[in-house]
Amino acid sequence: MSYVPPPRPTTDTGQMPPARLYGADFARDPHGLYARLRSRWGPIAPVEVGPGVPAWLVLGYQEALAVARNVELFSSDARHWHATAGGRLPQDSPLLPMVGPRPALTRQDGPAHLRLRQTVLDVLQRIDRQRLRRVTATAADALIDAWLQHGQADLVGRFARPVASLAFTRLLGIRDSDGETLHTLVSKVVDSASEARAADHDLQASLLRLIDARRTNPAEDIPSWLLQTAAGLSEAELVHQLTVLVLTGLESTTGLIGNTLVHLLSRPRLLAAVAAGRSTVSDALELALWADPPVHNVAARWATSDLTFAGRRIQRGDVLVLALAAANADPAAHHGTNSPTPTVNRAHLAWGAGPHACPARDPARLIAESAVERLLLRVPAMRLAVEPTALLWRPSPWARALTALPVHFPPTAPPPRPVPEPEPETAPLKPAENEDPDETGRKPRTTNWAWWSLDL
Ligand code: HEM
């Protein structure tokens, strides 16, 4: 294997306009873009995360690890961003809910981050794993029953999305029927779509309502546990903690289910190996996490000083995006084998790294594994209804998730089922018809984007 020297240091960002990390072309083939950027720029490349919004994309495995671990040089606090601090990013930018400042753990460093992260760890600790597995499997069965006799289904719209929604409605203590509303809001925020700001506003208003309901009527759910474990948190912190839990969790768990399914269905030998017990759903999940992590790109980190990093001159306040999918595919991470998914191991960066690494790997894996296992058991003969290259992906700069996953299979009548477990007591997510919107949290008492103007 011949030695390839690192790229020469440079200060220019090239004559070409920076590559776009958004839009239909990006969604169609992000891996192609990462490969082109890597060969043109090396481990870190200039891109745009929105029209006219520049960022550095960290494509190298070691470089992504270094950025994620070094909180002194690379802060998670968006108030460092010269675009926000200098007022260059409009306050209605659809990027702000994902990349802007928030009084939540994702946007804090050091002790402030630890304080908030500990409350999330305490809450996640209280999840009853057996119940979560049972709820997921029951939801999966009910969803499968609804289309099993049709011989065809969209495994995103009729499976991955609703099964993740149902798991989350139970974790949050809201009505199952509110799951889709919640998911739609989350998807708009994660896609950084034009409605992202409004969706983030409505999400916070709904979650504030939920917290208020659980203050007077606690139950066995995340909002109640958050109130119990996070006694010192302000109302804004409580709402943003819960918002971040839902934002980061719901879409990526849906993506994990969908991406694992498409990974299996487009690899008949792997599918056969899982069916024959020579491999497991857990292995397939790990392979999908290497190849197409649901969080393709992490938003974000900010340089706290001018520095040269991986041969590039980074300025204080520049934003860096951790390209987890690209880092996983980095040939340097595979000892020069150029094989992105050589073995089943867990050294991929799909869960992030460093102090902000995902604290919810266990429950997320549990939901995805239970759902996929149930589906393979119930519908063993399913096949993709289109070529893998014809599948469409969501246009998010951050999430990697299919818009649909059409499959076909021999139609079968669903078996008779016992009466399902009743929903536990739930709290309202939406205002009642006759409630005054101003009094009920539709205007959240918490966030305004002026939060970022606080001094660092
Ligand atoms: C039950 C579902 C999930 C919940 C509740 C959840 C929650 C969270 C939270 C609260 C954080 C922020 C941690 C911090 O800033 O200290 C986080 C980070 C992260 N999560 Fe998850 N997550 C879930 C599922 C997933 C899944 C399925 C993936 C992808 C495989 C994922 C990938 C990540 C990544 C990459 C980060 C790191 C972000 C960064 O470095 O800033 N999460 N997650």
pLDDT at 455: 35
Ligand 1 contact, 361 CB (< 6 A): no
**Whole-number percent of the chain with pLDDT over 90:** 79
Ligand 1 contact, 162 CB (< 6 A): no
Q: Which residue puts its alpha carbon closest to atom 20 of ligand 1?
A: 358
Confidence band for 194, pLDDT divided at 50, 70 and 90: very high
Q: How far is the CA of 289 from the centre of ligand 1 (A)?
A: 13
Confidence band for 313, pLDDT divided at 50, 70 and 90: very high
For ligand 1, pick from 71, 286, 358, 362 the residue to mutate: most ligand atoms within 8 Å of CB. Answer: 358
pLDDT at 119: 95
Q: How far is the CA of 439 from the centre of ligand 1 (A)?
A: 32
Q: Which residue puts its alpha carbon closest to atom 18 of ligand 1?
A: 358
pTM metric for this prediction? 0.91
| DSSP labels, 291-334 | HS-SB-EEEEEEESS-EEETTEEEPTT-EEEEEHHHHHT-GGGG
354 sits in the region (left: phi over 0; alpha: psi -120 to 50; else beta) called left
pLDDT at 429: 78
Ligand 1 contact, 121 CB (< 6 A): no
Ligand 1 contact, 258 CB (< 6 A): no
- 20 burial (CB, 10 Å; 0-12 / 13-18 / 19+) is middle
pLDDT at 432: 60
Residue 330 pLDDT > 90, yes or no?
yes
Residue 31 pLDDT > 70, yes or no?
yes
Average pLDDT (31-44) is 97
pLDDT, the chain, mean = 89
In this predicted model, which residue has the larger pLDDT, 438 or 22?
22
**Whole-number percent of the chain with pLDDT over 70:** 88
pLDDT at 333: 81
pLDDT at 12: 47
Ligand 1 contact, 356 CB (< 6 A): yes
pLDDT at 37: 97
Ligand 1 contact, 179 CB (< 6 A): no
Q: How far is the CA of 402 from the centre of ligand 1 (A)?
A: 19
Nearest to 300 by CA among 452, 103, 100, 44: 100
Residue 443 pLDDT > 80, yes or no?
no
Residue 317 pLDDT > 50, yes or no?
yes
Residue 56 pLDDT > 70, yes or no?
yes
Q: Which residue puts its alpha carbon closest to atom 6 of ligand 1?
A: 249
| C-alpha distances in Å from residue 174, one per residue of 379, 402, 430 | 30, 26, 10
Task: List the chain domain ranges.
Answer: 19-336+347-441
Confidence band for 434, pLDDT divided at 50, 70 and 90: low
pLDDT at 9: 37
Q: How far is the CA of 358 from the centre of ligand 1 (A)?
A: 4
Q: How far apart are CA 249 and CA 397, in angstroms?
A: 17
Q: Which residue puts its alpha carbon closest to atom 32 of ligand 1?
A: 351
For the domain made up of 19-336+347-441, give the CATH fold. Cytochrome p450 (1.10.630)
Return the ligand 1 atom nearest residue 106 CA. 15
Average pLDDT (430-443) is 52
Ligand 1 contact, 248 CB (< 6 A): yes
